[in-house]
Chain A
Amino acid sequence: MNITLQRFTGLLITALAVTGCNKPAEEAAPEPGKAAEEQKAPEAPPPAAKEIKLGQTMPYSGPASAYGTIGKLHSAYFKKINEEGGIDGYKINLISLDDGYSPPKTVEQVRKLVEEEQVVAVFSPLGTATNSAIQKYLNTKKVPQLFVSSGATKWGDPANFPWTIGFNPSYKLEGQIYGKHILATNPKAKIAVLYQNDDYGKDLLEGLKEGLGASAKNIVKEASYETSDPTVDSQVIALKGSKADTFVNITTPKFAAQAVRKAYDSGWKPKTHYLNNVGASIGSVIKPAGPEKAKGAYTVQYYQDPLDTQYDSNPAMAKYKEFLKKYYPEGALDDGSNVYAYIEAQTLVQVLKQCAGNFTSENIKTQAASLKDFKPDLLLEGIAINTSDKDYFLFDQLSLSKFDGTIYKPEGALIKGN
């Protein structure tokens, strides 16, 4: 083998050549006193360009790429807002980067957004572990981590992380609502739970137990899976073995579809099936699994389903469909993630409107924490978004819906959490 200094030299030459290529010209000047600068909040954006620069990380690739549609819809929505004149004359510039759902990549991309692009806020970064990796950094940098696309309960902690606000109704709240519904309809239920082994799955399971209270002992079997598992078939078979009559299905879309199919095909067919909101999408879960297999399943909902004919007469729904057609034609109408993204984008626009032209990181955070009875298009009747500097949870009550073979029909009144 001819491993020589010569090759090692070659390596460094190229390494440095690449270095040179990757170095934007404006960074060339050395910056003295960087250590001090580290702790400083980024400067307010120069208003000269008349734009509001926002950043985002999205799993366009990797295991959670089904959620990539959220980022694409955001970009489409802001394009529409900009074409209509922007906000107070300012255009929204969303820089959405792929993190492949991998925390180290999220850190890299968010640093790029904050330090290179100088964004005023990071909007709707998606995922729980990915957001955990950047939470401390963004709070040190005093850049809002606004409307985290994850329902983990930890995104509502204004005392320790004032710059982090979640969007989804917390998974705990959702679990509590299933628990309360089981108590009210079938207190003697034998419950089997399938959950994703991470913050999200555990949060929801904990909420379920809180909702069930003393009846939590009725959970006869719990099975967990990893996002890297190819299927959840064996877990569902194990749950079937417990002879439970109630199935609480805490899974993300791909696994939700597998679980719905397997619970039916294996002959288990539990009497009551709770399918968590994350995995309840008709387009990405029910259809691939087979609609007849999910008939009768309950889920919590907080937004309207575009496939539900009862909303056809709703002008807001017509507006949404028109928006999809014009700005995001490749977006599926039956994908719940698109409605979610639509509501999230409207909420951000509301925050920016409340900023009244003062688009500093500080003011954006303050306004995000002072939403009062905001009702974006497509939220279910009676639900409104409220925040305060003490309460970062956007939602505190949700409605339960039942899948009738084609669509989800709302059942009964809104249910409040514990």
Chain B
Amino acid sequence: MPTKPVARLTDQRVVLIALIALACLLPFFVSNYRVFQFTMVLITSIALLGLNLLTGFNGQISLGHGAFYAVGAYTSAILIDQFSLPYPFAVLAGGVVCFVCGWLFGRPALRLEGIYLALATFALGVCLPQILKYKGIEHYTGGVQGITLIKPEAPFGLPLSADQWLYFFSLAFLLLSFWMAHNLVKSHTGRAIVAIRDNPLAAAAMGIDLARYKTTTFGVSAMLTGIAGGLSALTIQFVAPDSFQFLLSAGFLVGIVVGGLASLSGAVFGAIFLQFVPNVADQISKAAPWAVYGVVMIAFAYLMPEGIAGYIRKAVATARNKA
């Protein structure tokens, strides 16, 4: 990677800090309902970031990330509801449980390549809602009734509404996740992860331990998605098997492709797409909202084949060249 002029990097840092500051001001200028929507965007971004690490950077396709989202949501919900664990710990616990689940799932999945891995994860995604209804664990999961949670209020007497507090709580997790992911993909581990995607044979020949990197990536990816799940449980205040149908997993995949594969910022663009486009589709046609959604999706695929992040990157590069 060529070294960048120091001045430009500093400029970017300034812009970045300004944007984070803007993101912090945002909830004070919109209604609680909008704050709620943007909180969902932040949460979905974290989930997409997780999936993008696995699929975009490491080349392992997952059609079942909704399952990790659900496990994270349920772990947090059960810990809060039944064991009265403070919610920040419950969300982290959801992430830890998902890391373990992802790592364990990644082990046998090592033998599966490409489309076969997609099938295996697909199975995970479709079977989880049914497992959640299983009678034996109904005492914890609430069965089909699900679990209703109480929305956490802002602590330390901060003058924030519950929605605003959850926004900042999620924003903190988002920034932490991006910082972590950014460092990860820039490190030599990140280069190994990408090398495995580009040419596993060559990567192995260079001495990269494929099994270790692939399972760890699976674990980290599941962990981020699980944390997002836990945050969503807090924000929606309700978890039920019906909340985690297969379409959720499919939606995540749509999100990273539309946002931009193998791009960290793509996760946020994808989340914005997933949050707002269905609402627009519903306004355009009550009879066939999904047809509208489909047309928008195809339009994105044609006009921005590298996702929104790729499109913006190109546009910025063109502008720079002209300047």
Scan residues 23-65 of chain A and give those whose CB is less than 8 A from a CB of chain B.
23, 27-28, 30-35, 37-38, 60-63
B-chain residues with CB within 8 Å of residue A108 when the two chains form the complex:
36-37, 40
Q: Contact: A35 with B159, CB < 8 Å?
A: yes
Determine whether A362 belongs to the interface, using a CB cutoff of 8 Å to chain B. Answer: no
A111 vs B160: C-alpha distance when bound (angstroms): 18
Residues of A contacting B96 with CB < 8 Å? Answer: none
Residues of B contacting A: mostly: helix
User: Among A6-14, A178-186, A268-276, A306-314, which stretch is in contact with chain B?
Assistant: A6-14
| Of A197-205, A278-286, A291-299, A334-342, the one touching chain B | A197-205
205-240 of chain A: CB within 8 A of chain B: 226-228
Nearest A residue to B266 via CB reads A11
Q: How many residues on B have C-beta within 8 angstroms of the other chain's C-beta atoms?
A: 79
Give the distance in Å from the alpha carbon of A137 to the alpha carbon of B160 in the complex: 19
Does any Cβ of A come within 8 Å of B212's Cβ?
A: no
Residues A38 and B161 in contact in the complex (CB < 8 Å), given A7-B309, A107-B236? yes
Chain A contacts of B242 at CB under 8 A? 101-103, 129-130, 198, 227
Q: Which of B14-22, B98-106, B216-224 contacts A (4 or more CB under 8 A)?
A: B14-22
Interface status of A97 (Cβ within 8 A of chain B): yes
Complex formed: what's the CA distance from A62 to B243 in Å?
Answer: 12
For chain B, residues 163 to 184, give those with C-beta under 8 angstroms from any C-beta of chain A. 163-164, 178, 182
* A residues near B31, Cβ cutoff 8 Å: 27, 31, 115-116
- Which secondary structure characterizes the binding site on chain A? helix
Docked pose: A192 CA to B140 CA in angstroms: 29
Bound-state Cα–Cα, A137 to B238, Å: 10
A228 adjacent to B130 (CB under 8 Å)? yes
CB distance from B174 to the nearest CB of A (A): 11
- One of A15, A35, A228 near B162 (C-beta < 8 A): A35
Which of B76-84, B146-154, B202-210, B295-303 lies on the face that meets chain A? B146-154
A132 touches B148 (CB 8 A): yes
Assembled-state Cα–Cα distance A128/B316 (Å): 48
Query: Which residues of chain A from 100 to 155 have any CB-CB distance to chain B below 8 Å in the complex?
Result: 100-105, 107-108, 111-112, 115-116, 128-130, 132-133, 135-137
Task: Mark contacts of B29-66 with chain A using CB atoms, 8 A cut-off: 1 yes-contact digit, 0 otherwise.
Answer: 11111101110110000000000000001000000000
Q: Does B71 contact A (CB under 8 A)?
A: no
B144 and A129 contacting across the interface, CB-CB below 8 Å? yes
Asked if A5 and B16 make an inter-chain contact with CB atoms under 8 angstroms apart, the answer reads: yes
In this assembly, does A1 line the interface, its C-beta being within 8 Å of a C-beta of chain B?
yes
Cross-chain contact of B34 among A11, A23, A133 (Cβ < 8 A):
A23
Say yes or no for B231: interface residue by CB 8 A criterion: no
B272 contacts the other chain (CB 8 A): yes
B74 within 8 A of A: no
Tell yes or no: A72 within 8 A of B by CB. Answer: yes
For A12, the chain B residues whose CB sits under 8 A away are 15-16, 19-20, 22-23, 265, 268
What are 29 A-B residue pairs whose CB atoms fall within 8 Å in the complex? A1-B185, A1-B262, A4-B4, A8-B182, A12-B20, A16-B26, A18-B272, A19-B38, A22-B34, A23-B29, A30-B28, A31-B31, A33-B159, A34-B163, A35-B159, A68-B286, A102-B242, A103-B238, A103-B240, A103-B243, A104-B232, A104-B238, A105-B278, A107-B236, A128-B144, A133-B243, A199-B144, A228-B126, A228-B246
B residues sitting closer than 8 Å to A (CB atoms) are 1, 4, 9, 12-13, 15-16, 19-20, 22-23, 26, 28-34, 36-38, 40-41, 57, 126, 129-130, 133, 144-146, 148, 153-154, 159-164, 178, 182, 185-186, 190-191, 194, 232, 236-238, 240-243, 245-247, 262-266, 268-269, 272, 276, 278, 282, 286-287, 289-290, 308-309, 312-313, 316
A16 to B30, CA, bound (A): 13
Min distance, Cβ A157 to any Cβ of chain B, angstroms: 13
Interface assignment of A252: CB less than 8 Å from any CB of chain B: no
Complex contact B186–A60 (CB within 8 A): no
Q: Which residue of A lies closest to B193 (CB)?
A: A1
| Chain B residues, CB < 8 A from A101 | 242
Residue with the greatest number of chain B CB neighbours at <10 A, chosen from A28, A72, A202, A228: A228
Contact call B16/A100, Cβ cutoff below 8 A: no
Using known A-B contacts A35-B161, A35-B162, determine if residue A9 contacts B15 with beta carbons closer than 8 Å.
yes
Chain A nearest CB from B96 CB (Å) reads 23
Chain B residue numbers with a CB within 8 Å of A27 are: 29-31, 34
- A34-B160, A129-B242, A228-B245 in contact; A100/B278 too (CB < 8 A)? yes
